[in-house]
Amino acid sequence: MRGILVTIAIGCCIAAVSGNALVLAEAGRIPFPSGYRDWTHVKSGLIDDPAHPAFARYGGLHHIYANPKAMTGYRTGNFPDGAILVYDLHTLVPLPDGSIDQGERRHLDVMVKDSARFAETRGWGYEEFLASAPQTPTLTPKARAGCAACHAARRAHGDVFSEYRE
């Protein structure tokens, strides 16, 4: 009897969890790209001038990472479904000896290619994770549209700005 109850309880919870996963998938949420530090480092960049228009949100040192499918995109100009790109932004820490170290993460931006699911934004889904809550997607639909609008400037490059540095 006890065994049956336990089974029923587990069955109910699995149903509830997969139900939530479905809702999240329908809302277009992208999961945190765990494992991205093992992918290919594409390039790094620095925005350190407060006069730069992107300074407030993107000031600091960023690294761009690509999974193997995204690397196919950099090589061919055609990013296949399953490509994932990560923009990993960190603060700057000036050191007493005059050098500058990489500080804490500010936030991590992600692009995921899925032509059917993200057809409205030319096949790319956009998401952002804050350092304070790395597993929680944060962007509103309006913010995601803002990402896509700027990235559209690189339409001829599959909406991807960076280029792979040998």
Q: Which residues share a beta bridge with 87?
A: 64, 109
Nearest approach in angstroms of CB 16 to ligand HEC is 30
**CB nearer ligand HEC, residue 118 or residue 147:** 147
Is the distance from CB of 107 to CB of 33 less than 8 angstroms?
Answer: no
Is the distance from CB of 47 to CB of 58 less than 8 angstroms?
Answer: yes
Q: Burial-class residue 2 by CB neighbours within 10 Å (0-12, 13-18, 19+).
A: exposed
Nearest approach in angstroms of CB 165 to ligand HEC is 10
Nearest approach in angstroms of CB 12 to ligand HEC is 36
Residues at the contact surface with ligand HEC, assessed by CB under 6 A = 43, 45, 64, 85-87, 109-111, 126, 128, 139, 143, 146-147, 150-151, 160-162
**CB nearer ligand HEC, residue 7 or residue 115:** 115
**CB nearer ligand HEC, residue 54 or residue 96:** 54
Q: Where are the alpha helices (DSSP H) in 42-166?
A: 55-58, 68-76, 141-151
